Amino acid sequence: MAPVVGAAGPAIALLELASIAVGHRTLDALLKQAEVQLLVARPVSPGRWIILITGQVEELSSALRRGVEVAGAALVDRLFIPNVEPSLLALVSAPGAVPESLDAVGTLETLSVASVIAAGDAAAKAASISLLSLGLARGLGGKCWVSFTGELSDVSAAMDAGAAAASTAGMLLERVVIPRPDPRLGEILARGVDLS
């Protein structure tokens, strides 16, 4: 079944901090502020701390405001998407499914966690693609990526939308579309990478 283009999803918020210690204090404060679901709270390269949360828009907004306040000067970046693509949210917790066939694969590489999430969300909403993998700055010098597959025209359209989203903040590093990739590439991308 093909994904629904522009599907409605839950809200997601991210804080990226330059200090791990301030990240701990910020996490505590925002969890006390509102009922949100914690998806990720961990260190990432290069020596930063990320907090990724999901929940209802009002609760998430409240938690994000409190987090920004507590983070202060340690705040590097933040992101709030009130209607995130559900398949992108799923990739945060588990690798994607191995596709049965590959017409084309696209990969967007960025320089921040917030920019790759924004890029993946925009790509998935722009065309009928399937997200394969999401790399969130672990052991990569702060680099991140999102990979997806679909028909070549859809992958190209998704690539344009995702690249535009990442470029807004000046964080797009590279964009690649591979037509007719080797089937083993899909397996490797869907497996993801664990550099912890």
d(CA 108, CA 162): 7
Say if residues 181 and 102 touch (Cβ distance below 8 Å): yes
Would you list the domain boundaries of the chain? Answer: 11-81, 86-191
Residues 113-139 have pLDDT tens digits of 899 999 999 999 999 999 988 888 777
CA–CA distance, 123 with 89 (Å, rounded to integer): 13
Outline where 74-127 has alpha helix (H).
Answer: 86-93, 113-126
What CATH architecture is 86-191? Answer: 2-Layer Sandwich (3.30)
User: Is 11-81's fold the same as 86-191's?
Assistant: yes
Class of domain 11-81: alpha beta
Q: What is the pTM of this model?
A: 0.84
The Cα–Cα gap between 144 and 1 comes to 28
Residue 41, amino acid: A
Q: Is 46 exposed, middle or buried (0-12, 13-18, 19+ CB in 10 A)?
A: exposed
In the three-class reduction of DSSP (H, G, I as helix; E, B as strand; rest coil), residue 177 is classed as strand
Q: What is the pLDDT along the chain (196 residues), one digit of tens a residue?
A: 333 344 456 899 999 999 999 999 999 999 999 999 999 899 988 889 999 999 999 999 999 999 999 999 999 999 999 988 888 888 887 766 767 778 899 999 998 889 999 999 999 999 999 998 888 877 767 788 999 999 999 999 999 999 999 998 788 999 999 999 988 887 778 776 543 3
User: pLDDT for 93-115, tens place per residue?
Assistant: 776 676 777 889 999 999 888 99
Give the Å distances, CA to CA, from 10 to 110, 149, 193. Answer: 23, 23, 26
Under DSSP, is residue 84 helix (H, G, I), strand (E, B) or coil? coil
The C-alpha atoms of residue 28 and residue 193 are separated, in whole angstroms, by 29
pLDDT, position 20: 93
